Amino acid sequence: MAVKHEQENGLLLDDDGRTRRTGTLWSCIAHIITAVIGSGVLSLAWSVAQLGWIAGPIAMLCFAIVTYASVVLLSGCYRCPDPVTGTRNYSYMDAVRVNLGKTQTCLCGMFQYLYMYGIGIAYVITTSTCMSAIRRSNCYHEKGHAAPCEHKDIPNMLMFGAVQIVASQIPDFHSIKWLSVIAAIMSFAYSFTGFGLGFAEVIGNGMIKGSIAGVPASTRTKKLWLAFQALGDIAYSYPYALVLLEIQDTLKSPPPENKTMKKASMIAMILTTFFYLCCGCFGYAAFGNNTPGNLLTGFGFYEPYWLIDFANACVVLHLVGGYQLYSQPVFEFVERWFSEKFPSPLAMLCFASITLVSTFLLCDCYRSPHPEFGPARNRSYLEAVHTTLGKSKAFLGGLFVQVGLYGTSIAYVVASDTSMRAIQKSNCYHKQGREAACEYEGTLYILLFGAVQLVLSQLPDFHNIQWLSILAAIMSFAYSIIGFALCFAQVIGNGYVKGTIAGVTAYSAADKLWKVSQAIGDIAFAFPYSLIVMEIQDTLKSPPSENKTMKKATAIGIVITTFLYLGCGGFGYAAFGDKTPGNLLTGFGFSNETYWLVNFANACIVVHLVGAYQVFCQPLFANIEKWIAENHPDSRFVNKNVICKIPRLPDFQLNLLRLCLRTIYVISTTTIAMGFPYFNQVIGLFGGFSFWPLSVYFPVEMYFKQRNIEAWTTKWILLRSFSIICFLVTAFALIGSVEGLIREKIK
């Protein structure tokens, strides 16, 4: 069939408007082998042992034939009503819905997704078993066969889960071709190893073990149950139909997808059934009635330990890909359901929840050693880290805090430049028409913002900028509400909600992955609150105790800001779809009707950033000035204040150290902003860099130390897992933002 291809924004599209599929016969075979040759291959020797020499191999052949027959039927359901030219069904569930109706779809969905979820659990358990086997084998090899070499499974499971969290960020089924190829190679590797070891064991025994009836049981009833369990294990080894249509949806055409799918299935099923028969039969022939549930464990943990370790490592690598193969359809279903029921992005809610949890942990670190009655106050983030975790952790924390605060200042300079240029461009178009040349350099506005900050930075400390914070908060509400309202009006004007489940279309899977990672960094940057929790808490009166007031204020503040974030983010994407701009307000253009409102919102942003810059740089000023004062207590330059008298204003004390240090700071942030004026990339970079260590790692570690949480307790495992997951996500965001910044600079 000749499929119609269109081109949009440089992208080749298929007949359904989606990015052109590039899957081939060989990529399809790789997907199938990854799906079919799972860890279940290692249990087939046990299954043959229960069924015996005749029933065991025949059962495997029967399940292979049944699977292939169902594949032939299903592949014809990818397009409806015609299997070659009809409308595409992207998943098993879509095919059931189109052909059998809503009731059958609900029933099918329950079975399919529950089974896929179960496969995921089984893969985690199998991975843990193999990783424990590797550690035990190496332990016996190094310490002797009598050594106590038992290992807990939980760390292995957490490690595998952490890897899957990263792999799960791969956008969709079309982007895991490379993972399936690796997994398919690994499945061949450990199958060959199991087959080879079984064959060598038979040669070493000098006889073929086993019998026609299989392993004897104490009663007929028990034998029957074992036979049923063996059939279940064989059935588990052929779960391929679950993801057949998802695999078929990756294929390019012509030739027709169903023909390619049938050919790939035939080749893959022959290969996998051959390996199943070899591993199952030679495993039973090698061990007879002592055939283990996992074939590799039957060879012990001794010699050849390195070969068994290699096979177990191949199983683990295969399961990394296999887990994704069965998880991606579940992800797609859940994400689509969420996007239909809850249009606001889930990532924002996740980061809001993380920030709330970490802030609650931090609030209890303001006083030491008791969170309410401790006599010692920690007036800054670094003081809390130093008091609770010691000098070395305080040094590391200081590095992240200072870089995080400094980076936030740079990002605010860049953001202010973007808004001020938007105002000037809007006024230019309004006066001279849309055809006028209204592009402006940002240097002037960056310098103007820096000049304002030079003056405000001479305010002595955090306690003196309360009025500025109130003004900035009012401005943030103003522009957020305007942005939300304009987006809402745009959606109403469009008459429909734009956007898709997968987000903006990219030129390639790699490009999409970079954009997703940068977006996560941008969201992380929107929740930088943990940096200044202690400084804010130090302004509170007591009673009531500061940590209680702070927790209440934090909950209220994060709920309000998250609501505004969701409103602006969700309705912004709904309004503009694939053309959503980096700065939301620039998407409304410069029309005569709304230009004044957009200008007002941009002006509010600038005023807010003036205050926000000070909120984030004052703690950094305090840290540096305190360090200098402690190391140079007798310096007049450090300690001398000059009284400045300004007409009609109160006398102002000007400190020479403060004047020089803060001037250099403002000049440096302004200079760097002029060199890298890339709004989204800069905020993504600093969001990815600072979010995990400051919002998650140090709060969790301080909580452990202050509350004396012992290792491997339930609370310890939950918080440690929470920290590891957040690390992987923010590392992903950091890498993507660095790539985006470099790409913009080169461009």
Predicted pLDDT at 17: 66
How far is 530 from 358, CA to CA, in rounded Å? 7
Counting other chains too, the contacts that 131-135 makes at CB distance below 8 Å and 24 or more residues apart are 131/156, 131/159, 131/160, 131/312, 131/316, 132/156, 133/296, 133/297, 133/301, 133/308, 133/309, 133/312, 134/309, 134/312, 134/313
Per-residue DSSP letter, 402? H
| Residue 34 and residue 177 in contact, taking contact as beta carbons nearer than 8 Å | no
Give the pLDDT score at 342. 43
Does the pTM surpass 0.85? The reply is: no
pLDDT of residue 335: 62
CB distance 398 to 524 below 8 Å: no
β-bridge partners, 19: 13
- For the chain, which ranges sit under pLDDT 70? 1-19, 35-42, 144-146, 171-174, 240, 294-303, 334-346, 371, 434, 442, 462-463, 501-502, 505-514, 525, 528-529, 531, 583, 586-593, 644-653, 678-684, 686, 745-747
Residue 177 C-beta-side C-alpha neighbours within 13 Å: 18
What pLDDT, on the 0 to 100 scale, is given for residue 737?
A: 74
Instruction: Tell me what pLDDT residue 300 has.
Output: 60
Please tell me if the domain spanning 6-341 has the same topology as the one spanning 346-746.
yes
Pick the CATH number of 6-341 from 1.20.1740.10, 2.60.120.640, 3.30.565.10, 3.40.50.9100: 1.20.1740.10
Looking at residue 679, its pLDDT comes to: 60
Neighbour-count burial for 587-619, b at 16+ CB within 10 Å, e otherwise: bbebeeebbeebbebbbbbbbbbbbbbbbbbbb
Residue spans per domain, the chain = 6-341, 346-746
| Residue 123: count of CB within 10 angstroms of its CB | 25
The string of DSSP letters for 331-374 reads: HHHHHHHHHHH--S-HHHHHHHHHHHHHHHHHHTTSEESSTTT-
Q: How far apart are CA 690 and CA 686, in angstroms?
A: 6
Q: What is residue 128's predicted lDDT score, i.e. its pLDDT?
A: 83
Report the pLDDT value the prediction gives residue 652, as an integer from 0 to 100: 63
Q: From residue 493, how far is each of 143, 481, 484, 501, 719 by CA, in Å?
A: 74, 18, 14, 22, 46
> Phi/psi zone of residue 367: left (φ > 0), alpha (ψ -120 to 50 degrees), beta?
beta
Burial 685-709, CB ≥16 within 10 A → b, else e: bbbbbbbbbbbbbbbbbbbbbbeee
Q: Which residues contact 174 (CB under 8 A, 6 or more apart)?
A: 19, 21, 22, 23, 249, 250, 509
Give 23's DSSP letter: B
Question: What pairs with residue 654 in β-bridges?
Answer: 642
Please report the pLDDT score of residue 713 as a whole number: 86
Instruction: Give the model's pLDDT for residue 40.
Output: 61
Classified by CATH at the fold level, domain 346-746 comes out as Amino acid/polyamine transporter I (1.20.1740)
pLDDT at 402: 79
Counting every residue written for the chain, the total comes to: 747
